[in-house]
Amino acid sequence: MKPAAFAYSRARSLDHAAELLASDDSARVLAGGQSLIATLNMRLDAPRLLVDINGVSGLDDVVERNGQIEIGALVRQADALRSPAVARAAPLLSKALPHIAHPAIRNRGTIGGSIALADPAAELPACLLALGGEVEIAGAGGRRTVKADDFFRGLFETALDRAEILTAIRVPAASANMRYGFAELARRHGDYALVGLAATARADGARLADIRLVYFGVGATPVRARAAEAALAEGGAGGLEAAVTAVASELDPDDDIHASGRTRKHLAGVLLRRVVQEMREAA
């Protein structure tokens, strides 16, 4: 199928992008286009104006400062995967990125596009939440920062206002005592996951503390499994079993054509065992 007719403007700056977005209430930001163009082609959306932000400078840097790593919205997923700074300071992202689609899509798809789209089955939103990261936003009203905990609001719904631009994400830089775990189950490598899990924890001797477990593909947003986190934090021999039981009762995934909710709950427990083992075994 072909998209409905639309106008196209290439923004010269963030202010120009904000101005263009404010000029038409159907306008959409165009970043890598890997999801947006498919949506237009299927006529699931018909904006009158696309605002291309690819010419806006300063949105494709990776910078480490003040104990954080900042990744610009226009950094391609493939470039983030090749970045030594991302591998060193945000190893959870490096674990997750190879699971996003295929190389051709990662070559164009952007970090900011994935976070702004907020697909509930996507890897990066769950990682951002597991890392306790934040999102930088610019718009006509100025700039603001939103914590990942407050950013994902509903199905494909975020804290971004319609005429705002996500400019970067920031996450705490990795330190020696932090542990990161990532696993997902997809029918074929590169497909969206049936269920996935991104996790972080602080190693406290042999114990894992400050555990954050964030599932994707099980709800309208990335979902923190707080009861399972608490069960793991209590530790002891039964901690993991209690956490697997807790996950099955606190997650409430829907049935769909790919898997039943019951199957997804079971898979969530399988992933939990794998991810906890990965974090415990990390040197």
Ligand X SMILES: Cc1cc2nc3c(=O)[nH]c(=O)nc-3n(C[C@H](O)[C@H](O)[C@H](O)COP(=O)(O)OP(=O)(O)OC[C@H]3O[C@@H](n4cnc5c(N)ncnc54)[C@H](O)[C@@H]3O)c2cc1C
Q: Using CB under 6 A as the criterion, which residues of the chain lie in contact with ligand X when the complex forms?
A: 28-36, 38, 53, 73, 100-101, 105, 109-110, 112-114, 116-117, 119, 122-124, 160, 165-166, 192
CB of 62 to ligand X, least distance (A): 15
Structure tokens at 232: 């793991």
Residue with Cβ nearer ligand X (7 or 38): 38
Residue with Cβ nearer ligand X (96 or 242): 96
Q: How far is CA 50 from CA 92, 108, 127, in A?
A: 32, 17, 28
Q: Could you tell me the maximum CA-CA distance found in the chain, to the nearest angstrom? A: 61
CB of 242 to ligand X, least distance (A): 31
Q: Is the backbone of residue 157 left (phi > 0), alpha (psi -120 to 50) or beta?
A: beta
CB of 205 to ligand X, least distance (A): 35
Tell me if 197 sits within 8 A of 127, measured CB to CB.
no
Residue with Cβ nearer ligand X (9 or 208): 9
241 phi/psi in degrees, rounded to 5: -65, -40
Residue with Cβ nearer ligand X (187 or 226): 187
CB of 109 to ligand X, least distance (A): 2
Tell me if 16 sits within 8 A of 58, measured CB to CB.
no
- H/E element, 96: helix 91-96
CB of 241 to ligand X, least distance (A): 31
Residue with Cβ nearer ligand X (139 or 253): 139
